[in-house]
Amino acid sequence: MAADLPPDLGDSVVVLTVQGLDELVTRLSALGYEVKGPTRGESAIVPGSVKSSDDLPRGVHDVQSPGSYRIVHNDDDEELFGWAVGPESWKKEYFPSSQVMWRGEVVGDTVVFRQPDRSHTPLAIVGARPCEVVALRILDRVLEEGVHRDARYSDRRDSSFIAVVECASPADTCFCASMQSGPGIDQGFDVALTELNDEHGHRFIARSGSPRGADVLSSVPTRPANELDLEARTLLLETASRAMSRSLPYGEVANLLARNVDHPRWTEVAERCLSCGNCTSVCPTCFCSDVHDTTDVGGAIERRRTWSSCFDLEHSYLHGGSVHESSASRYRQWMTHKLSTWWDQFDSTGCVGCGRCIVWCPVGIDITEEVAAIAARDEVRVGVPSRRGAS
Amino acid sequence: MSSDRTLLMRPSPAARESLSALTPILHRVVERIGETNDITTLALEPLEPPSMNFRCGQFNMLSALGVGEIAISMSSAPHERMLRHSIRDVGAVSHALCQSSVGDLVGVRGPFGSDWRVESARGDVDQRDTVVVAGGIGLAPLRGAVEELVRDTQRGGGRIFILVGAREPSQIVFRADLESWKARGAKVSLTVDLATSEWDGRVGLVTTLLADAGFDATNSRAMLCGPEVMMRFTARALIDLGMDPEGILVSLERNMQCGVGWCGHCQLGPLLLCRDGPVVPYAGLVSQLLTQRER
């Protein structure tokens, strides 16, 4: 997304102090939202309950590399968002890892199906990352913008309030700039914040992205943003973009993978891939699920949907065996889906460049390195027209 | 709940589509037919009307209540009285369904997916010859389409050629239907991989029936269902005979858990088979996908 503010946003850009941020959290609670945000867990930044800015990971930074994640703490540092992304995305709040679809009860000689209560406490997220907001938009296309709508996903998406915080401290594994999903963001949020901590003080530039975002912002103390604030934001986002050493060729990768299904690299990466599925469990867009029924001793039936992974052998099971039997075919399925066939299926990329799959891979397989390796020996067959892709 | 909150919320999504696509509609087994040693046909009737409206080639998610759910194509035509599914006993759910008795309840969700396009896009009778090629239980998803085609011959539809291959004579399904279709003008050819002493018909792969079946490949279409390798070789043979690949439809299968495009299991490259399939033209993309290993 463009780092520059569209000119017509100028008037609606305001500045919040850290105290103002506290008031924003208080305001959201008063409106009935359950407020969650990034918190400092034992050894990672994890989603948690947020009552005030004291619950946010003040002075915490993350150090990420292939197969490695560490947090470090600096007492002198006031920054609340001086880190990139933790292992858990916000996906689980809308698409839980295990969810009851219905319960069936035997009544006389028939069965009565009951769907779980759809009421829920609306969620407000303070401190989602741009890449995570883009990931939710990608999930929207799968779960609510197809032929069938997952109403409970929609319920939660509709009711939730998202205050995104733009990224100033990308990790070594981040590549959102190349995937057009960060470090800045222009849409998909209720409020967007940019944390500044310079000689003009510790403060947040705030923009609203929805009527309710505007309402909430107008109810907390702010001042209009000035030139200095806006310049500081522009510089911060440019610096963050430049700091990302990893990238993917957003416009070309879909066709690159579509024409390289028989590339030798698939077998080479499979020699390292453990098929553990860590990449799919940390991915903010992976949506595969299993559906299974259970019964209790009284005969009541429960149908449940749980997250699953295309790295499981059972994922592609058909009577007689699995279609994706080799690790190579499972890795190929995962990566070509993320970067290529997602376009065919949902008209968007399936990757936002958050880098979690690189970090949480126990052997440090790097999706950007794998794409580069395929591109280095690209088997372009002249005369074979490309399928549609990201361009 | 504060009134403030209500003001800030976007309009309630309650009016949107509910989870009905996920909740089975109860049907009762009204007839159970043993087709072969491991294939059973269930005729189903909803506990409450209306009956399901569908197109031949589409599928339902059938629930053996408390055991699980599987994707099964309808094996009846919409104009027939009973909704039928023919199920091969290969896993826990299909076993439970095959074991069900008349009077038992079965959950049904659907219909889902694409169909055989028996009628032309304009809804007219298709005047081309239709070549129907089935391997084993692959005749089940084709059965309704054949019923419609046979009916259409009386309205000026093209000729019908039904070519069926089975592992052995006892694995040929719908024998009474095959006789009935023959009596109503369809040309029916059978072959088996492994002949038994009572078999006096053809022996060999279903592709060996193509050359002398008598259809005009340049003015016909085909509907194929069976093992992928069988469909691939049949489609290639039909193309070699001069058939337009766009006119060759195949019914594909992958693991399916939801039927509504959410679970991700039924991917075949760029296709979500529950949504883009199961019936797809063999031309171009699909012919490539079927030659790629482990897609």
Q: Are residues B104 and B170 in the same domain?
A: no
Do residue B89 and residue B144 come from a single domain? no
Output A163 or B14, whichever has higher pLDDT.
A163
Burial class (CB in 10 A: 0-12, 13-18, 19+), B34: exposed
Nearest residue, CB atoms, B261 vs list A148, A151, A295: A148
Q: Is residue B279 part of a domain?
A: no
User: Cβ contact (<8 Å) for B2 and A152?
Assistant: no
Segment 40-79 of chain B within 8 Å of chain A by CB: 47, 63, 65-69
Gap from A349 CA to chain B (nearest CA, Å): 13
- Distance separating alpha carbons of residues B266 and A279, to the nearest angstrom: 20
Between A16-25, A142-151, A310-319, B137-146, the lowest mean confidence (pLDDT) is in A142-151
Q: What's the rounded Cα separation, in Å, for the pair B238 and B231?
A: 10
Confidence of residue B3 (pLDDT cuts 50, 70, 90): very low
For residue A223, pLDDT beyond 50 = yes
CB-CB contact of B25 with B87 (8 Å): no
pLDDT digits (tens, 9 = 90+) for A166-212: 999 999 999 999 999 999 999 999 999 999 999 999 999 999 999 99
| Contact (CB, 8 A) for A312 and A318 | no
Q: Rounded distance, CA A62 to CA A71, Å?
A: 4
pLDDT higher than threshold 90 for residue A380: no
Cβ of A292 within 8 Å of Cβ of B67? The answer is no
The predicted-structure confidence for A61-119, as pLDDT tens digits, reads as follows: 999 999 999 999 998 999 999 999 999 999 999 999 999 999 999 888 889 999 888 89
pLDDT tens-digit readout, A114-138: 988 889 999 999 999 999 999 999 9
Residue B172: inside a domain: yes
Q: For residue B114, give the nearest of B205, B192, B223 by alpha carbon.
A: B223
pTM recorded for the entire structure: 0.92
Of all residues in chain B, the one with the smallest CA distance to A109 is: B105
User: For residue A355, what are the CA distances in angstroms to A201, A274, A332, A350, B293?
Assistant: 31, 18, 18, 13, 29
Position A108 scores a pLDDT of 86
How far apart are alpha carbons B11 and B14 in whole angstroms?
9
Residue B142 · residue B176 · CB < 8 Å = no
In terms of residue numbers, what domain contains B69? Answer: 22-112
Is B162 part of a structural domain of the chain? yes
CA-based nearest residue to B163, from B125, B127, B122, B201: B201
At residue B49, the pLDDT reads 87
Write down the pLDDT at residue A299: 84
Percentage of chain A lying above the pLDDT 70 cut: 94
Same domain, B147 and B244: yes
Q: Give CA–CA dist A254/A248, Å, rounded.
A: 11
d(CA A31, CA B4) in angstroms, rounded, equals 6
Is residue B123, in this structure, part of any structural domain at all? no
Give the one of B13, B91, B285 whose C-beta lies nearest to A155's C-beta: B13
Inter-chain residue contact A215 with B7, CB threshold 8 Å: yes
The number of domains in chain B is 2
pLDDT given at position B182: 97
The string of DSSP codes covering A278-312 is HHHHH-SS---EEEEEEE-TT--EEEEEEE--TTS
CA A301 → CA A41, A112, A113, A191, B72, distances in Å? Answer: 37, 10, 9, 42, 21
Largest CA distance in chain A: 75
Instruction: Taking residues B171-177, report their average pLDDT.
Output: 97
Among B102-116, B148-162, B202-216, where is mean pLDDT lowest? Answer: B148-162
Is the ipTM value over 0.90, yes or no? yes
Q: How confident is the model at residue B17 (pLDDT cuts 50, 70, 90)?
A: very low
Q: Collect all residues with Cβ–Cβ distance below 8 Å to B280 and sequence separation of at least 6.
A: B114, B249, B250, B252, B271, B286
**pLDDT value at B184 more than 50:** yes
In angstroms and rounded to an integer, the radius of gyration of the C-alpha atoms of chain A is 22
**Token reading at B251:** 């019914």
Q: How far apart are CA B61 and CA B84, in angstroms?
A: 13
Same domain, B75 and B151: no
Instruction: Please state which of the ranges A8-22, A30-44, A134-148, A321-335 shows the lowest mean pLDDT.
Output: A8-22
Q: Is the pLDDT of residue A389 over 50?
A: no
Q: Does B227 touch chain A (CB under 8 A)?
A: no
Instruction: Check whether A382 has a pLDDT greater than 60.
Output: no
- Among B251, B270, B286, the domain-final residue is B251
Q: Read off φ and ψ for residue B23, nearest 5 degrees.
A: -100, 125
User: Please, which residues have CB within 8 angstroms of residue B96's CB and are 6 or more apart in sequence?
Assistant: B64, B67
Query: Are residues B37 and B134 both part of a single domain?
Result: no
Calculate mean pLDDT across residues A354-362: 98
User: Which residues of chain A make contact with B22, given a CB cutoff of 8 A?
Assistant: 101-102, 303
pLDDT at B156: 85
Q: Are residues B106 and B134 in the same domain?
A: no
> What pLDDT does residue A197 have?
96
> Which has more confidence, A2 or B254?
B254
Tell me how far CA of residue A117 lies from CA of A114, A123, A151, B117, B220, in angstroms: 9, 17, 12, 40, 53
**pLDDT tens, position by position, B189-243:** 999 999 999 999 999 999 999 999 999 999 999 999 999 999 999 999 999 999 9
Cross-chain residue pair B258–A289, CB shorter than 8 Å: yes
Q: Which helix (H) or strand (E) holds A357?
A: helix A356-359
**Mean pLDDT over residues A266-276, rounded?**
97
Indicate whether B215 and B186 sit together in one domain: yes
B43 alpha carbon, distance to own chain's centre = 16
Q: How confident is the model at residue B19 (pLDDT cuts 50, 70, 90)?
A: very low
B180 and B98 both lie in a single domain: no
pLDDT at A146: 87
Last residue of a domain, one of B45, B78, B112: B112
Q: State whether B33 and B78 are in the same domain.
A: yes
Q: Taking Cα atoms as reference points, which of B155, B214, B145, B212 lies closest to residue B181? A: B145
Asked if B172 and B225 sit in the same domain, the reply is yes
Tell me if B155 is assigned to some domain: yes
Domain boundary among B236, B251, B266: B251
Please give the pLDDT value at position B121: 67
Residue B88 and residue B44 share a domain: yes
CA distance, residue B28 to nearest chain A CA (Å): 10
B228 occurs within a structural domain: yes
CATH code, domain carrying B235: 3.40.50.80
pLDDT at site A11:
55
Find, among A239, A228, A178, the residue nearest to A203 by Cα.
A228
Say which CATH number the domain at B30 has.
2.40.30.10
Q: Flag whether B101 is in a domain.
A: yes
- Number of C-alpha atoms within 13 angstroms, CB side, residue A294? 8
